[in-house]
Amino acid sequence: MKGKVYLVGAGPGDYKLITVKGLECIRNSDVVIYDRLANDKLLDECKNKCELIYVGKESSNHTLSQDKINQLIVSKAKEGKVVTRLKGGDPYVFGRGGEEGEYLLEQEVDFEVVPGITSAIGGLCYAGIPITHRDYASSFHVITGHLKDEEKELNWKGLSSVDGTLVFLMGMSNLKSICENLIKEGKDKNTPVAIINWATRYNQKVVVGNLGNIKEKATKEDIKSPSLIVVGEVVRLRDKLNFFENKILFGKNIVVTRARSQSSTLVDKISELGGNCIEFPTIKINETKDNKELEREIEDIEKYTYIVFTSQNSVQIFLDKMIKMQKDFRSMNKCKIIAVGPSTAKSLRDRGIVPDFVPNKYIPEYILESLKGELNENDNILIPRASEARDYLIENLSKICNIKEIKIYETILGEGKKEQIIKLLDQKIINYITFTSSSTVKNFISIIGKENIDKLKNTKLISIGPVTSKTITEFGLNIYREAKNYTIDGILEQIIEDSRRK
């Protein structure tokens, strides 16, 4: 089998700024060789068995030399593998992609290049700086601030005399000399300059000044690499065009404690609003393997008069099983379907099943009260649900009619790492922690340890509803806000409202 290499541009940082073709390469590769400036989140797209190799370079701290990287790419391709060499920005803009391409050609390895949005343009855009503008700049120049041969000076005279926007990459260690050289060769020392650190990421930081004072300002703000240095009148537009940093949740660190398999909606919405989502899965959904009991009841589904779904997981596992068994959904046509909670109802509706009853309070006592009048001893109720669920409802319903409960999944401790979260709590940089069920609260505490509970007092705890809130208060903690309608969107509304107030 013949291997192949794709040199792929990952875009400037925001992982959504990769191209459709680049994403396709990541998804189809056997090996992904990536560096520091490519967003890690893109690696979630890799195939299960994909080999991930980090070859990041931090200016003086080279993990692997360029020669070694070249050899690595070639050796993987020669094993017959499809390799993505993932690089920040565009592979041919100071990415040494050209050198890698030449080497591949020499070694007779088939390769393609997938361009990316370079930070030199996209990074400016997210800082509110258009690289050209009819009133301010009719050309632009992208320059390395770090020469291969330090002796070989840039053409400062030429650079100082052009009117276009100058963008220096890899220039932070030479910032002082860049400014001095431009001034010396005739650029006005009042020419606006912006330094953009970690452009397009949640932690983007921008310092604005002019050629005369930017070095001092950047040092004061402790701005380091990776940063873009932008010199030119277009910097003035930032005040008007800064859409990114003006997003409502920009600069906010928000912890999501749901199971990874369920967190994507919340994670996506937070990122869309500019927030930094810290995924800390406290629970994991474990479907009961080879559930013969479930299969038997599905086979016999016609005998039931009610099915009660208490979570999205139950809906998903139950209906997936029906599909797998090729059991027609119309076999449930005599059953009334009850969905506990709006999210459970939504996941049924999304699959074409409109629940007959959705109790508007997610409290067993209330559900029992609302069902009591409807039921008689001839009813047959099926409840597929989690193994650790409360038994109150079951106990009381079984006094009225026949109940069949099947445990179709359990929630176990998630993979969130104690050290990771403790570090962030100690740094006091977490703005909100979202709790979407009682088990997320209990497991959160069990992961960090009771002795660390006080650390939660410095951040705002947001609860999805009264049952979860009760668990939070039982641990002696305060709820900062509780969702009005007990959903993910309800949680987001609270965070947005709170951020807007400031």
Q: Which residues are catalytic?
A: 35, 57, 170
Tokens for 401, please give them. 């009619």
Contacts of 418-424 spanning 24+ positions with Cβ under 8 A = 418/447, 418/448, 418/449, 420/280, 421/255, 421/280, 421/447, 421/448, 422/448, 422/452, 422/455, 424/253, 424/255, 424/278
Residue 452 contacts ligand SAH per CB under 6 A = no
Is the separation of the CB atoms in 122 and 11 below 8 Å?
yes
Q: Where are the beta strands (DSSP E) in 22-81?
A: 31-34, 51-54, 57-58, 61-62
Residue 93 contacts ligand SAH per CB under 6 A = yes
* Neighbouring-strand partners of residue 499: none
Using CB under 6 A as the binding rule, the residues of this chain from 358 to 397 that contact ligand SAH are none
Residue 170 contacts ligand SAH per CB under 6 A = yes
Residue 491 contacts ligand SAH per CB under 6 A = no
CA atoms within 13 A on the CB side of 285: 19
User: Could you identify the residue written with the tokens 């009042």?
Assistant: 190
Residue 447 contacts ligand SAH per CB under 6 A = no
List the one residue from 3, 5, 6, 13 that touches ligand SAH (CB under 6 A).
13
Q: Is 181 helix (H, G, I), strand (E, B) or coil?
A: helix
Closest approach, Cβ 97 to ligand SAH, in A, equals 8
Tokens for 466, please give them. 């009264």
Residue 22 contacts ligand SAH per CB under 6 A = no
Closest approach, Cβ 8 to ligand SAH, in A, equals 11
Residue with smaller CB distance to ligand SAH, 144 or 398: 144
Nearest residue to the partner ligand SAH, using Cβ = 89
Residue 17 contacts ligand SAH per CB under 6 A = no
List the one residue from 84, 200, 262, 494 that touches ligand SAH (CB under 6 A).
200
Task: Please choose, out of 106-114, 192-200, 452-460, 489-497, the segment that lies near ligand SAH by the rule CB under 6 A.
Answer: 192-200
d(CA 426, CA 420): 10
Residue with smaller CB distance to ligand SAH, 200 or 411: 200
d(CA 192, CA 442): 52
Angle between helices 488-501 and 264-272 (to 10 degrees): 20
Residue with smaller CB distance to ligand SAH, 234 or 425: 234
Give the number of other Cβ atoms within 10 Å of residue 110's Cβ: 12
Closest approach, Cβ 121 to ligand SAH, in A, equals 9
d(CA 11, CA 155): 29
Residue 89 contacts ligand SAH per CB under 6 A = yes
Residue 37 contacts ligand SAH per CB under 6 A = yes
Using CB under 6 A as the binding rule, the residues of this chain from 221 to 280 that contact ligand SAH are 225-228
Residue 468 contacts ligand SAH per CB under 6 A = no
Residue 218 contacts ligand SAH per CB under 6 A = no
Give the number of other Cβ atoms within 10 Å of residue 35's Cβ: 19
List the one residue from 88, 115, 414, 416 that touches ligand SAH (CB under 6 A).
88
Task: Please choose, out of 91-99, 303-311, 455-463, 473-481, the segment that lies near ligand SAH by the rule CB under 6 A.
Answer: 91-99
d(CA 167, CA 229): 6
Residue 355 contacts ligand SAH per CB under 6 A = no
Closest approach, Cβ 61 to ligand SAH, in A, equals 13
Closest approach, Cβ 11 to ligand SAH, in A, equals 8
Closest approach, Cβ 166 to ligand SAH, in A, equals 13
Using CB under 6 A as the binding rule, the residues of this chain from 117 to 136 that contact ligand SAH are 118-120, 123
Number of residues that bind ligand SAH (CB under 6 A): 24
Closest approach, Cβ 172 to ligand SAH, in A, equals 7
Tokens for 272, please give them. 């869309």
Closest approach, Cβ 93 to ligand SAH, in A, equals 4
Residue 101 contacts ligand SAH per CB under 6 A = no
d(CA 384, CA 407): 6
Residue with smaller CB distance to ligand SAH, 58 or 474: 58
Is the separation of the CB atoms in 406 and 293 below 8 Å?
yes
Residue 199 contacts ligand SAH per CB under 6 A = yes
Give me the count of residues in the chain.
Answer: 502
Phi, psi of 163 (to 5 degrees): -90, -15
d(CA 230, CA 392): 65
Binding site for ligand SAH (CB under 6 A): 12-13, 37, 87-90, 93-95, 118-120, 123, 169-170, 196, 198-200, 225-228
